[in-house]
Each structure stands twice: as structure tokens, then as C-alpha cells.
Chain A
């Protein structure tokens, strides 16, 4: 089992390097999702080795936490840190249906980009 733990630690280290280095916010979102999955795998290995079920609700909590973090970064933060791409964003978003709930909330970001450009 120490081999499994070593492999998981190596994977977590590689993902953390990508999390620190990632050039855009979306790379960090993907890396954060992968890091949460590695932590879930570690909890699974701990549960299997010691045969104690007390950490299993943490698996559910981490699953939803990774989903929420990734979706919120992709939805609200990723379009804000790109400086020169507001044209592609607005041209797409006028034709994409099913996005009406969040368009008003993204307006500060587009205003900020419009004033910058």
C-alpha cells in the first residue's frame, strides 16, 4: 500500500505544480479539480487500509466542493482575467441560448474589459 500512497503523492505533486504554474485561470480550475480527486483517492486508500468508514462523508463533501469550485471559476472568473478576448466572448454570448441567468452577473467583467480596451 505504500506504493499506492507514493504514486498518489507524486500525482498530487505534479498537479500542484500545474496549479501553481498554470498560465490562465482555467488551467488552475482543471488542476484544482484533479487535486480534489487526488485527495478523494487518498481518503479512499486510507479507508481501505485501516478499514474505518468514518471518512466516507468527506468523499461526498469533496466531490461537491470540487464541482462547485470548478464551475464557479469557469463561470465567473475565467472570462474576467482575459484582457484581449472580449470580442469573441460577446459575439458568442449573443447567440448562445440558455445562458440568460448569468449574463447580468457577468456585466461588471465586460464593462471592465470594455473600459480597458
Chain B
């Protein structure tokens, strides 16, 4: 990989940024106190870092079908990570695995206390 080609240089910058974001996700996952904040660290920087690395890989690949498969992997990641994080956060809320002192607003508890408007 040489720096003379601008696509290669852009791919290198993308992959370096993505790897730094993955490292930040690992540090946040290790240091943050409870499940919800760890989930905050483990989903958003991780997904963005992975998308940057996939963008770098797509810049390096010559063929169109390979680029399509990279795009498909990124699209599936964007679709599945929020759903999984939603399930994990809901299970964390319902099993009481979280610090209630760190909550600013508890919309799920307020919505479940009002029977007229249940949580969607």
C-alpha cells in the first residue's frame, strides 16, 4: 500500500480513524460503570469505526460486486446493531441492572406507569 495513490491514502486514513474508534469503544466498554453506559460505548463508536474500516476496504477493492458486498455488510450492521442494543437495554431496564442515579429522565418507567399510553 503506497501513499502516492489518493484512494490508497484515503483508505489508510479511514482505516486508521476506524481503528482508533474501535480502541475508544474498547476503553469505554472497560471503564464505564453500568450496562446502559457500556452499551453506549459499545454500539456507536464501534459501528462508526467498523463503517470507516469497511469504507477503507471498499476504496481498496477493484470490483463492483465486492464493493456491493461491503456496502451490504455496512447496511446490515446499521440495521442490526440498534435492534440488538434496544433488546439489551430493555432487558437491563427490566432486570434492574443499572444505576438509577445516573438517569436524567426515565421515559420507559413513566410510560409504563400510565396505562393509557403504553411504551411503543
Question: Which A residues form the contact surface with B (CB < 8 A)?
Answer: 1, 3-4, 7-8, 10-15, 17-18, 24, 26-27, 29-31, 33-34, 37-38, 40-41, 44-45, 47-49, 51, 53, 56-57, 59-60, 63-64, 66-67, 70-71, 73-75, 78-79, 82, 85, 88-89, 92-93, 95-97
8 cross-chain pairs, A with B, having the tightest CB-CB distances, nearest first: A14-B26, A67-B80, A11-B26, A7-B19, A70-B84, A59-B73, A53-B66, A74-B87
User: A73 to B93, alpha carbons, bound, how many Å?
Assistant: 14
Contact, CB under 8 Å: A26 / B29 = no
In the complex, chain A residues whose CB is within 8 Å of the CB of B53: 41, 44-45, 48
* Majority secondary structure of chain B interface residues (helix, strand, loop or mixed): helix
Contact, CB under 8 Å: A44 / B95 = no
B 1-41 to A, binary, CB cutoff 8 A, 1 in contact else 0: 10000000001100110111011011101100001001100
Contact, CB under 8 Å: A75 / B26 = no
Question: Which B residues form the contact surface with A (CB < 8 A)?
Answer: 1, 11-12, 15-16, 18-20, 22-23, 25-27, 29-30, 35, 38-39, 42-43, 46-47, 49-50, 53-54, 56-57, 59-63, 65-66, 69-70, 72-73, 76-77, 80-81, 83-84, 87-88, 90-97, 112, 115, 118-119
User: A79 to B87, alpha carbons, bound, how many Å?
Assistant: 12
In the complex, chain B residues whose CB is within 8 Å of the CB of A57: 69
User: A1 to B51, alpha carbons, bound, how many Å?
Assistant: 17
- Cβ-defined partner of A34 (8 Å) among B25, B60, B61, B83: B25
Q: How far is the CB of B39 from chain A (nearest CB, A)?
A: 5
In the complex, chain B residues whose CB is within 8 Å of the CB of A4: 15-16, 18-19
